[in-house]
Structure 1
């Protein structure tokens, strides 16, 4: 399972330079929409909705997954894709 997530993460990362440089683009480039929905509104009950969350909360959670302070096999692999773009992703999601 982890290997599959890492392969997907690597593929998404390689495409990230082709995506527009804004919160929506960074969200898409990070592969977030695959689980959390294209606009942060998940259609799968096990994945939380991110749309409308406070930006500071989203930033903290992403950084906690990146540092290992918060652990989840999928998010620990995916959160590094948002490195340096946490605030712009969070600001975009907060407006959804």
Structure 2
């Protein structure tokens, strides 16, 4: 299931050509973390209302491997360069 979500998210990004104003939705983050970052799946944390600096750090830690999770490592890689926009969006939710 995780591989399917990852492939779907990557396909979305590639078909869009570039990430638009809301990279959270464009990258498919809502598939696990819910619309607006409010997860309805207990396995995946809600991200809405998080402080932006915290979210940026977590994404960068997944990218660098300092924080380990196969799915999030791949998804955070897709978010490279969009960390602050994602964090700002989630902080405002």
**Normalised by the shorter chain, which TM-score bucket?**
0.7 to 0.9
Per the alignment, residue 44 of structure 2 pairs with: 47
Aligned length: 93
TM-score, normalised with respect to structure 1: 0.84
Question: Deviation at 1:3?
Answer: 4.8
- Tell me how far apart the structure 2 counterparts of residues 71 and 16 of structure 1 sit (CA, whole Å): 28
Mapping of residues 1-96 of structure 1, within 5 Å = 3-4=3-4, 6-17=6-17, 21-22=20-21, 25-96=22-93
Question: Deviation at 1:88?
Answer: 0.8
Q: Any unmatched runs of 5+ in structure 2?
A: none
Question: Deviation at 1:5?
Answer: 5.0
CA RMSD of aligned residues (A): 1.9
Change in CA separation of 1:59 and 1:16 when aligned onto 2, cut-off 3 Å: farther
TM-score, normalised with respect to structure 2: 0.87
